[in-house]
Amino acid sequence: ILVRPGDAYSVSKKDFEGFRNLFHRFLQVKGPSVEWAKINRPPEDSIQPFDKIKAKGLPDNIADSLNKLVVVKLNGGLGTSMGCKGPKSLISVRNENTFLDLTVQQIEHLNKTYNADVPLVLMNSFNTDEDTKKILQKYTHHGVKIHTFNQSRYPRINKESLLPVAKDMAMTGENADVWYPPGHGDIYASFYNSGLLEQLIAEGKEYIFVSNIDNLGATVDLYILNHLVSQPNGKRCEFIMEVTDKTRADVKGGTLIQYDGKLRLLEIAQVPKAHVDEFKSVTKFKIFNTNNLWISLSAIKRLQEQNAMDMEIIVNPKTINGGLNVIQLETAVGAAIKCFDNALGINVPRSRFLPVKTTSDLLLVMSNLYSLEAGSLTMSERREFPTTPHVKLGSSFTKVQEYLTRFESIPDMLELDHLTVSGDVTFGKQVSLKGTVIIIANHGDRIDIPAGSMLENKIVSGNLRILDH
């Protein structure tokens, strides 16, 4: 296969080798990748409370530590689940700021405050690369060096025949949806293959902080960084996974276990069917992976060169053009935790996990529950309890454009516990929601919540239209 650098139509030889290795492993694996009986709870000291890390305080020369850090954002996803075209990172989340804007503002603020040089690296996919690069021009004077690299492009496989669906290398026409980016576990190989990993090590960088670009809680934490950098060289921790306490909403999140004497990430896809309920219980597995990870660059280089990076395969079934059933083979970045030395979990506050996956999440981050400062969102001090309200918006709100037309302004939600909205519902200006509010417009009905309304522990159903006369 010819490799032409930067040619979107060429699947590089490295991609091909990577896919072949993954596919071979997929063919060899029989049954679940874990034996349930061998699963143990992680030893006490392998998951540290954040408060303990924070108690160490910060040195005067925190800039020295920052200069060893690179922030990496996973930017391979499209905004399709929220009804948007193009990269998800370009959706406006707050005061016209996109996920990407907020990220750049955070790092710019960090660099200015501490006179540091923390670069931002975006891992794009072939879906997001072009649109992202166009937008990057606007940050040229932002005091942040920005690099990008692309994750691999692998062919989807016919579920029946186990053969690739692609007819040729093209990515248009009938070939448009036969390729896929193979999950964020691909970061290690594609970062290494891009040459950027070597370049950053040569610049004196030692750790990357990796997170999903749609997790607005994933800011650079100076205490965790200091913990990493201040350890004795021989016992240096090569991998930190930020975990947080599970709630009922997080039952599907991956968790940390002890397995064969190593910390290991256990995902729901790896759990034998008979044990899924046990996996979902909040009592046995109390924490889940936020996908905020701190990883040693030299360790990634070593593991890549030794071909020792081992991640469980996630088989993701999809249906594409004309109803064809395909599978795509993926890996997860956190699954490599077992390959690194002295890996550690840190149990962080829930505020470091603020993902925006749906318009229900978007409503929370756009509301007065959060204040925005230097690109970072923090829970308002005026909220009396630190938990986030539970918001469920119905299918009329799924797409961002439609969602925006249904709110003349975002309601006051400081005292809200629970909001469920279903059907054709609109909100006037300056509505206030408190306690538990349920609004259900039956099929064919419409409910307009009048401007200035205050709903506290209310159920609204039926038909309510306020007409201007």
Q: Could you tell me which residues are annotated as the binding site for substrate?
A: 184
Task: Name the one residue in this structure whose structure tokens are 């990515």.
Answer: 171
Q: Is 441 exposed, middle or buried (0-12, 13-18, 19+ CB in 10 A)?
A: buried
Q: How far apart are CA 330 and CA 155, in angstroms?
A: 11
254: tokens are 């991956």
Q: How far apart are CA 324 and CA 429, in angstroms?
A: 46
Q: How far apart are CA 34 and CA 343, in angstroms?
A: 20
Q: Indicate if 357 belongs to the active site.
A: yes
Check: CB of residue 74 under 8 Å from CB of residue 124: no
139: tokens are 């940050």
Tell me how far CA of residue 272 lies from CA of 31, 100, 147, 448, in angstroms: 9, 38, 40, 47
Question: Per DSSP, which regions of 81-175 are E strands?
Answer: 92-94, 97-98, 120-124, 146-150, 154-155, 157-158
Binding residues for UTP: 88, 151, 183, 214, 357
Check: CB of residue 168 under 8 Å from CB of residue 254: no
The residue type found at 435 is G
In sequence order, the 6+-apart residues with CB closer than 8 A to the CB of 302 are 308
Q: Is 83 exposed, middle or buried (0-12, 13-18, 19+ CB in 10 A)?
A: middle
208: DSSP letter: E
Catalytic residue of the set 357, 399, 434, 458: 357
Positions marked active-site: 357
